[in-house]
A and B are shown apart, each in its own frame.
Chain A
Amino acid sequence: EAGVAQSPRYKIIEKRQSVAFWCNPISGHATLYWYQQILGQGPKLLIQFQNNGVVDDSQLPKDRFSAERLKGVDSTLKIQPAKLEDSAVYLCASSLVFQASSYEQYFGPGTRLTVT
């Protein structure tokens, strides 16, 4: 079974530029999550999708971050414009079951973003 795929793995941009990250979840997984992991901290949820609908985006800085999940499969996370404090690893995860807190989330390798 293929795992969660993410690209690119690394990205370096200047502040005020735009960047987009892509995630392909495990086949059949209805729920998709985007996390931000700042160096020295645990991952923090940015947004959660159920199929192609948003169920939690309370922690997403909506003035600069946006995300979509077209057709309930792949997802993209965009930052426009980027700030220095956006430097972090962006992790995508997926899980099989909706609204089941005990079910495992499977994580991708992440995209390491550096904003200079």
Chain B
Amino acid sequence: AQSVTQLGSHVSVSEGALVLLRCNYSSSVPPYLFWYVQYPNQGLQLLLKYTSAATLVKGINGFEAEFKKSETSFHLTKPSAHMSDAAEYFCAVSDPRGSTLGRLYFGRGTQLTVWP
């Protein structure tokens, strides 16, 4: 079974500071990995995804994530935080073998606060 652990339910940074949101996964095979963002009262929006191509993945809004197999991690980073980045971020995993037909397993989420 797939599972995701997001370290830190809340992260606070100052505007302009580095954003680092941590995600570790558990999987018997290299999975597909995703980061989604959720703004208040909205659905989830895909930021980026890893599907076994380049290990450094660039997404929207200046975010990127690096797949590290040895560490079973897929941490999300952004060099300089903006006030508009304040939201909840979810890491998710799916099984590329297709046995679970695209089903996503989500972490508990990390709430990002950006201070002016």
Contact = CB atoms under 8 A, between A and B. Distances in A.
Q: Is the interface of A mostly helix, strand, loop or mixed?
A: loop
Interface of B: 4, 9, 32, 36, 41-46, 49, 51, 90, 92, 94-98, 100-104, 106-109
Q: Is the interface of B mostly helix, strand, loop or mixed?
A: loop
B5 to A, nearest CB: 11
Interface of A: 4, 9, 31, 40-45, 48, 50, 55-56, 91, 93, 95, 98-105, 107-110
A56 B106 contact: no
A105 to B, nearest CB: 7
Given A48-B103, A91-B43, A110-B43, A41 B109 contact: yes
Nearest to A108: B43
A48 to B, nearest CB: 7
